[in-house]
């Protein structure tokens, strides 16, 4: 395995003014545009840490908390929060600032799992992570917890004993119509 690197050695911040061309039909900045920027900063952060080409393996917890307006300055901050053997979890925080009033709002936080690739497209090892403060330790531990939760969900839905019938009573409590064939 390669050496260890400090978490702050690969932190990246980008800012971009939101233009009318980035907006959706309701006049707010299109979520897909923001996701594209987030993917770019995740790539840059992971590549900076690993010193290699990286690909997006998954995206966790994309909650759009506040709409972004045309004319606001969007800043994204990314850091490597966790490293595995060939993968890294990059945490991204998105804030928007009204440059006329100075009001700043938190718009989104998300976690991108990025995988390091070699010249032939094969996964390769990434440097370990040196954590320098309690915030970095907390981010690392939260990444482990998210991975455990994800594995548990995957197991629940992939497990051979899983049956939709077990969930029918729960579904009846929701706004859904169940119209299954008799032999389903």
Q: Taking residues 157-165, report their average pLDDT.
A: 65
For the stretch 27-84, pLDDT in tens is 999 999 999 999 999 999 999 999 999 999 999 989 899 999 999 999 999 999 999 9
Q: Which residues of 98-137 are buried (b: 16+ CB within 10 A; e: fewer)?
A: eeeeeeeeebbbbbbbbbbbeeeeeebebbebebeeeebe
pLDDT at 2 over 60: no
Calculate the dihedral angle through the C-alpha atoms of 43, 46, 50, 56, rounding to the nearest 10 degrees.
-60
Q: Average pLDDT over the chain, rounded to whole?
A: 92
Highest mean pLDDT among 125-129, 157-161, 177-181: 125-129
Confidence of residue 1 (pLDDT cuts 50, 70, 90): very low
CA distance 129 to 95: 26
DSSP class of residue 20? G
DSSP class of residue 28? B
Q: What percent of the chain has pLDDT over 70?
A: 93
pLDDT of residue 158: 79
**DSSP-based three-state secondary structure for 80:** strand
pLDDT of residue 164: 59
Q: Taking residues 102-128, report their average pLDDT.
A: 97
Superfamily of segment(s) 4-131: Hotdog Thioesterase (3.10.129.10)
pTM, rounded to two decimals: 0.86
Highest mean pLDDT among 98-102, 154-158, 164-168: 98-102
Structural domain boundaries in the chain: 4-131
pLDDT at 167 over 80: no
pLDDT at 111 over 90: yes
**DSSP-based three-state secondary structure for 91:** strand
pLDDT of residue 56: 98
pLDDT of residue 166: 67
Alpha helices in 30-164 (DSSP H): 31-50, 134-158
């Amino acid at each position: 395995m390669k050496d260890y690197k400090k978490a702050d050695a690969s932190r990246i911040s980008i800012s971009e003014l939101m233009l009318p061309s980035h907006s959706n039909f309701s006049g707010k900045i299109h979520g897909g545009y923001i996701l594209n920027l987030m993917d770019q900063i995740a790539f840059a952060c992971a590549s900076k840490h690993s010193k290699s080409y990286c690909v997006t393996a998954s995206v966790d917890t994309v909650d759009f908390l506040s709409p972004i307006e045309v004319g606001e300055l969007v800043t994204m901050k990314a850091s490597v929060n966790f490293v595995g053997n060939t993968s890294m979890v990059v945490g991204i925080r998105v804030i928007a600032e009204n440059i006329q009033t100075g009001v700043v709002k938190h718009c989104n936080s998300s976690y991108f799992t990025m995988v390091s690739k070699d010249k032939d497209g094969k996964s390769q090892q990434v440097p370990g992570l040196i954590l320098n403060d309690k915030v970095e330790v907390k981010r690392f531990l939260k990444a482990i917890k998210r991975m455990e939760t994800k594995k548990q969900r995957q197991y629940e839905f992939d497990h051979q004993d899983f049956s939709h019938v077990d969930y029918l009573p729960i579904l009846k409590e929701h706004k859904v119509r169940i119209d299954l064939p008799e032999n389903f």
